[in-house]
């Protein structure tokens, strides 16, 4: 497995543990819908379904983890979340969080950005 994939999986494990320590119930991890749409972590807390995107970077990386969750990525996450909600017949409030992890091999800094973005309305012609 490529080094960046190992780092990503390690970051997702750390994010899941962090969320559980803070009262979240993990419903699913690395959920995919026919291999096209992917969600890192789906959790619940206080009757809210939380879709969590995890971004992990090595210390000293040129870009901050949060910068990788651009508008295009947000759009794909929202589409995947919609599929998840429909497939699992979930009709509760939901939100989109990002867990940013900066990892240096021994110490990790975790930042949990709640309600990091909102779905953008789609405009049809």
pLDDT digits (tens, 9 = 90+) for 63-115: 888 999 999 999 999 999 999 999 999 999 999 999 999 988 777 899 999 99
Evaluate whether residue 9 is within a structural domain. yes
Q: What is the pLDDT of residue 16?
A: 97
Evaluate whether residue 50 is within a structural domain. yes
Q: What is the DSSP letter of 107?
A: -
Evaluate whether residue 37 is within a structural domain. yes
Cα 89–chain centre separation = 20
Give the domain range for residue 7: 3-117
Evaluate whether residue 122 is within a structural domain. no
Question: Whole-angstrom Cα distance, residue 51 to residue 43?
Answer: 7
Domain total of the chain: 1
3-state secondary structure 90-106: CCCCEEEEEEEEEECCC
**Beta carbons of 16 and 29 less than 8 angstroms apart:** yes
Sign of CA dihedral 9, 99, 55, 53: positive
Evaluate whether residue 15 is within a structural domain. yes
> Considering the entire predicted model, what is its pTM?
0.89
Cα 73–chain centre separation = 11
Q: For position 92, which CATH number holds?
A: 3.40.1350.10
Evaluate whether residue 40 is within a structural domain. yes
Angle made by CA atoms 90, 95, 100, in degrees to the nearest 5? 130
Residue 5, C-beta contacts closer than 8 angstroms, at least 6 positions apart: none
Residues constituting the chain: 125
Evaluate whether residue 60 is within a structural domain. yes
Q: What is the pLDDT of residue 7?
A: 75
Evaluate whether residue 80 is within a structural domain. yes
């Amino acid at each position: 497995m490529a080094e960046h994939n190992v780092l990503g999986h390690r970051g997702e494990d750390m994010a899941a543990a962090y969320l559980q320590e803070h009262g979240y119930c993990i419903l699913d991890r690395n959920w995919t819908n026919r291999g096209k749409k992917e969600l890192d972590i789906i959790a619940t807390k206080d009757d809210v379904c939380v879709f969590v995107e995890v971004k992990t970077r090595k210390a000293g990386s040129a870009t901050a983890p949060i910068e990788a969750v651009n508008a295009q990525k947000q759009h794909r996450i929202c589409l995947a979340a919609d599929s998840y909600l429909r497939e699992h017949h979930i009709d509760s409030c939901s939100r989109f969080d990002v867990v940013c992890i900066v990892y240096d091999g021994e110490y990790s800094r975790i930042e949990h950005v709640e309600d990091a973005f909102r779905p953008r309305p789609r405009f049809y012609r």
